[in-house]
Amino acid sequence: MSAHYFSCKVIGCGAWSDSFDSWPALVELLKNKDAVANEIKGPKPEVIPANERRRAPLPVRLAVETSWQATQRAGVDPKELCCVFVSGFGDTQLTDYMCKVLATDSKELSPTKFHNSVHNAAAGYWTISTGCEKAANSVAGFQDSVPLALMEAAIQCHEEQVPILITFFDAPVSAVLTDIMGEGSSFSFSMIIAPEQLSFSEKTSEENILRLNVVSESCDWPVLQSEQPALQRCYSNNPSARILPLLEVLLGVSGTKELQYPISEQLSILLSAG
């Protein structure tokens, strides 16, 4: 069967890791090889009410922070956005807490930690904090999380003709699982995509067309061209940081306008910036 193209425009981004705290800071690192990465603590997303924020686990705070940044940059009300949240590892620190308690005789779990342990905690905190009543999805693709979530969101955007917030986030891995998963790191990136013809925002300076195509062929993982050690470290140990080569394409710093990601042994997605 013929190839399938889905076109959308990227209207706002947000970013956070141990070495950048905003999309402009990440752009600087990706564009300028002499830029120096700072050590960042946090985040403390303002949009979550203070009493809830204290109880919010790190992956949730990462995801909500960059989601909020993206909506602010796009000038879009979060209530207008369906959302797709994706994490490759899930919250392994909470899993660690629960498994340790359950291995004891008492087995008494904290109710707050239990409800925070659902994979859709980030989507839950986001929709609760922003009053968003739209469809909220929370998906997982392990190491393939970035291309699978991009595909899922691009198809939803195309089929339902709605703008969508996509947030890719992963946090450091619990000690017990690092043997098999690697150490991980704090990384979250959000982008808002919208149907090309949809116009609902005054701010259009960051608009960038993204085209996604599912192709029946295998491919290798793309190479991150930036030599920034902090970015290379994230790229190698954090499934969500696999978005970084696509950002180089969107920013025009990679020397190419397209990029391929594998989604199975025989299938890949081709992404191009226009």
Summarize as ranges the residues that interact with other proteins (CB under 8 A): 1, 4, 6, 82, 87-90, 95, 98-103, 107-111, 114-121, 123-125, 127-128, 130-142, 144-145, 148, 151-152, 155-156, 158-160, 175-177, 179-181, 214, 216, 263-267
**Closer to other proteins at the Cβ: 40 or 155?**
155
What is the C-alpha separation between 12 and 247, in angstroms, rounded? 12
161: left (phi over 0), alpha (psi -120 to 50) or beta: left
Q: How far apart are CA 229 and CA 53, in angstroms?
A: 31
Q: Which is nearer to other proteins, 219 or 267 (CB)?
A: 267
CB 127 → other proteins: shortest distance, Å? Answer: 4
Compare residues 7 and 254 and give the one whose CB is closer to other proteins: 7
Q: Which is nearer to other proteins, 75 or 124 (CB)?
A: 124
Shortest Cβ 158–other proteins spacing (Å)? 6
Closest to other proteins by CB, 30 vs 136, is: 136
238-14-173 Cα angle (round to 5):
20
Cβ of residue 132: shortest distance to other proteins, in angstroms? 6
- State the minimum distance, in angstroms, from the CB of residue 153 to other proteins: 10
CB of 200 to other proteins, least distance (A): 20
17 touches 38 (CB < 8 A): no
Nearest to 210, CA basis, from 162, 271, 161, 145: 271
Which residues partner with 14 through β-bridges?
A: 190
Q: Tell me the three state secondary structure of residue 222.
A: coil
How far is residue 109's CA from residue 99's CA, in Å, rounded to a whole number? 10
